[in-house]
Structure 1
Amino acid sequence: MSALTTLRSVVRGRVLLSGDPGFDAARRPWNLAVEQPVAAVVEAADADDVAALARHARAAGLGIATQPNGHGATGRTEGTILLRTGRLDTLEIDPAARRARVGAGVPSGRLQAAAAPYGLTGLPGSSPVVSVTGVALGGGLSWFGRAHGWVADAVTAFDVVDAEGHQRHVTAQTDRDLFWALRGGGGDFAIVTALELTLHPAPRLFGGRMLWPAEHAPDVLDAYRRITATAPEELTVWLDLLHFPGAAPMVAVDVTHLGAEDEARDLLRPLDHLPRPLSDGRRMMPVSEIGTITAEPTDPGAGLSRGELLTGLDDVAAKALLADPIAPLLSVQVRHLGGAFTRPSDTPHGPLTEPYALYLFGIPADPATARAVAGRQRAFAESLPVSGRKPLTFLNPGETAADAFAPAALARLRDVKRRHDPHGVFRSNVPVLL
């Protein structure tokens, strides 16, 4: 029997091989535009299953690609066993210590719901369905990053399975290099089965979206620039240029403020002088509802994305941003960074000094549209002041770790990979040795 056909005797979770009913659905990533070839799919029952799989793969010379539900997939999985960790769903909140223990399969929205009754929050991104572990392994840009830094900065410990199949508890004290690499360097070094992270006080949250017809985009952008120029760290504002199929182009401003409503409205006063919006969904909300602000899809779909970091948003950049319609893109998003992102960070990314992030998204309905989307994304990047560096979680399938990390950090990550996984058992979405 082959090493693949014996997998069912190695683990207690579900195993699917090529040709089995449900195999093709189980191997698909979140982004359906990415083809993800694998030799088998294993849905681990628990951390013991993960350890047994790692030992089996190591002995058989097989690779393991780990994904809770496939966000960030790049298709670099040929010949691997795809490990699904969605059933590793432990979630423990210690409100007195302001700490959470989060299983690898726990989505951000579930952590937020569990922390909210205690007036606490994790560091959520725009989507409630992305796993906390996946975001932390990629560094993590959060709604509250301006106040608290990278998501990875909040992680205090990892429970992992190493390349020999041993279960380990990794902290800055037990293994400084591996701990550093896991806090934003990706999943290339060990399989994370759970992590521990610091929670932050969030007794009050004001947030929501305002929406206008695209004809008001110049005025909205001007107000956005004025607000972000002086915004305190508790305030985060994103600008969205939107053009959904069958709808007229629009412009939106998305907001979160860790504080009182009157404080938030005062900080956002430039928006009150704009034409009346089509809608204004801003309100006091529990942190568990933060995923409703941008209303991102909660089911898989096809997409082409490109992320960049902007060195500024001056008059020239503002003019370039609005020079032409965004079509065939669906959205062009500008996220305000700064604040705590600029402070020292013992992570592979380190401080994030660029003041804005740019995220460009379109749907590749057919090959011609895919080429048009990629061309429009490239045109935006060429017309705006991009730094050339980008967060790991913003990388698309055509980019590598060298696009995210400075040379010294990448060299250190590669050293950690060679020492902790010399036989290449683990295959992350963005392998550091490529």
Structure 2
Amino acid sequence: MSITSALSANLSDALRGRVWTPEHDEFEKRSRPWNLAIAQQPAAVVEAADADDVATLVRVADSAGLAVSTQPNGHGASGRVDDTILLRTGRLDGISVDPVARRAVIGAGVRSGDLQRAVAEHGLTALPGSSPVVSVTGVALGGGLSWFGRAHGWVADSVTAFDVVDAHGRRLHATPDEHPDLYWALRGGGGDYAIVTALEIALHPAPHVFGGRMSWTGEHTRAVAEAFRALTSTAPEELTAWLTMLQFPGAEPLVALDVTYLGTEVDARRLLSSLDALPAPASDTRRAMSVAELGSITGEPTAPGPGASHAELITALDDAALDALVSEPIAPLLSVQVRHLGGAFARPSDSPHGALGEPYALYMFGLPLGEEAARAIRAKQAALAAALPTSGRKPVTFLDPTERLSDALPPESIERLRRIKREYDPRGLIRANFTSLE
């Protein structure tokens, strides 16, 4: 019997969940990341049925001399799963909401949109980002940017506890009082220190929410960008605005403003009244909405596909920066987005990243349909980043496959994370998308 067959038999006998190895017909499909431009060739794919399965998997992997890489549904992949056992935690999808305590306990596979639907009926919200299909756990492990981050900080700041399996197969509960170093590391330092099976998060009041997208044809890009800059210079923390330039293949350029407001429609429209001076938009979806509908604002894909992204943090949006953003077409990129940060992001945070002092984040995305297209996309991203006042750091959740944790986190955090990694996983059995050891 081959090593792969032996591994498959051992895993299948030991686990209640499902196992795929290269000889299975579905292996290629099950091993794909969300970003189909990333190649990964794990030794096996395991879909855990529960936390006990995760603990058993760690012990089997340890005895086989293999590492374990966790991807709930494949987001954030960096290609570091070759020759590992790829763990899918999508079936760990339980949600328990305590509306009085404003707490939710969720499984590691719970998607952002599912959590938002569960808490919306109680007039509460978690801290969702633009996509409803990413896992809450994956976002939190990378720090996490949210529509409501200006009001409530990093997604990780709202995590109050982690249930994990460590590299020895032990089930641990990490809080500020129990395994505090591990708790600190998992709140934005990546998933390299233990495998999260569940987490507890604080919820926030949201009895009223307003949001949506305004879009214009490309000739209005400068006017919209200037309006965005003016709006964000005085916006209260409850108001978030993102500027997005779009270039769909075969179509005319577009520019959009995406907004959310934690408050009533009357107050939101008053705060956004300066936008009324702009030319009439081609479309305007802004309205009072449920927090369960926030994932519809930007219309991001909900199915896997290829992509090439790059992000930066911008220190200022002055005239020179605005010129760099709007003076040339964004092609061959599909989108260039500037997110307003500030507010609670800039306040102290006991997390690996700490306070986020830069007022804006830049996110650039293209479709690498062939190597020539991929090279052109990378060149455009590099040129635009070089033309803007960037800090040289970025959020962990926005790292691209060519980057390291040290591109996101301060040196003192990297050194502390390395100590925690050596303490909890000296053999390197747990392999996250990004590691502090590089």
TM superposition score category, shorter chain reference = over 0.9
Counterpart check, 1:223 vs 2:237: no
Counterpart check, 1:68 vs 2:72: yes
1:60 is displaced (CA, Å) by: 2.1
SS of aligned partner of 1:272: helix
What is the match of residue 332 of structure 1?
A: 336
Within the candidate set 266, 278, 290, 1:274 is matched to: 278
What is the match of residue 126 of structure 2?
A: 122
What is the match of residue 307 of structure 1?
A: 311
What is the match of residue 4 of structure 1?
A: 7
SS of aligned partner of 1:196: strand
What is the match of residue 175 of structure 2?
A: 171
Within the candidate set 338, 341, 345, 2:349 is matched to: 345
Within the candidate set 399, 402, 405, 1:398 is matched to: 402
- Letter of the 2:437 partner, please give it: L
- Note if contact 2:55-2:165 (Cα within 8 Å) is conserved in structure 1: yes
CA distance in 2, matches of 1:244, 1:271: 25
- Letter of the 1:260 partner, please give it: T
What is the match of residue 377 of structure 2?
A: 373
Shifted more, 52-61 versus 123-132: the winner is: 52-61
CA distance in 1, matches of 2:422, 2:322: 44
Counterpart check, 1:209 vs 2:213: yes
Counterpart check, 1:252 vs 2:256: yes
What is the match of residue 194 of structure 2?
A: 190
CA distance in 1, matches of 2:138, 2:106: 11
1:292 is displaced (CA, Å) by: 0.5
Counterpart check, 1:297 vs 2:301: yes
1:376 is displaced (CA, Å) by: 0.4
4+ runs deviating over 3 angstroms = none
- Note if contact 2:162-2:175 (Cα within 8 Å) is conserved in structure 1: yes
Unaligned runs of 5+ in 2: none
1:246 is displaced (CA, Å) by: 2.1
- Letter of the 2:432 partner, please give it: S
Deviations 1:182-214 (A, max 9, x none): 001111000000000000000000100000011
What is the match of residue 90 of structure 2?
A: 86
Identity of aligned residues (%): 64
Within the candidate set 72, 76, 101, 2:105 is matched to: 101
Deviations 1:233-282 (A, max 9, x none): 00000000001112110000000000111211111112100111000100
Aligned pairs, number: 434
CA distance in 2, matches of 1:181, 1:282: 38
CA distance in 1, matches of 2:75, 2:436: 18
Within the candidate set 243, 247, 250, 1:239 is matched to: 243
Within the candidate set 3, 14, 25, 1:21 is matched to: 25
Q: TM-score, normalized by length of structure 2? A: 0.98
Deviations 1:111-148 (A, max 9, x none): 00000000000000000000000000110000000000
Over the aligned positions, Cα root-mean-square deviation in angstroms equals 0.7
Within the candidate set 292, 296, 313, 1:288 is matched to: 292
- Note if contact 2:414-2:436 (Cα within 8 Å) is conserved in structure 1: yes
Unaligned runs of 5+ in 1: none
CA distance in 2, matches of 1:175, 1:83: 24
- Letter of the 1:414 partner, please give it: R
SS of aligned partner of 1:12: coil
What is the match of residue 425 of structure 2?
A: 421
Counterpart check, 1:387 vs 2:391: yes
CA distance in 1, matches of 2:124, 2:318: 36
Deviations 1:47-98 (A, max 9, x none): 0000000111122221000010000000011210000000001100000000
Deviations 1:258-313 (A, max 9, x none): 01112111111121001110001000000000000001000000000001000010
1:173 is displaced (CA, Å) by: 0.1
CA distance in 2, matches of 1:56, 1:369: 42
SS of aligned partner of 2:121: helix
Counterpart check, 1:52 vs 2:34: no
- Letter of the 1:356 partner, please give it: Y
1:21 is displaced (CA, Å) by: 1.0
Shifted more, 240-249 versus 148-157: the winner is: 240-249
- Letter of the 1:181 partner, please give it: A
- Note if contact 2:173-2:179 (Cα within 8 Å) is conserved in structure 1: no
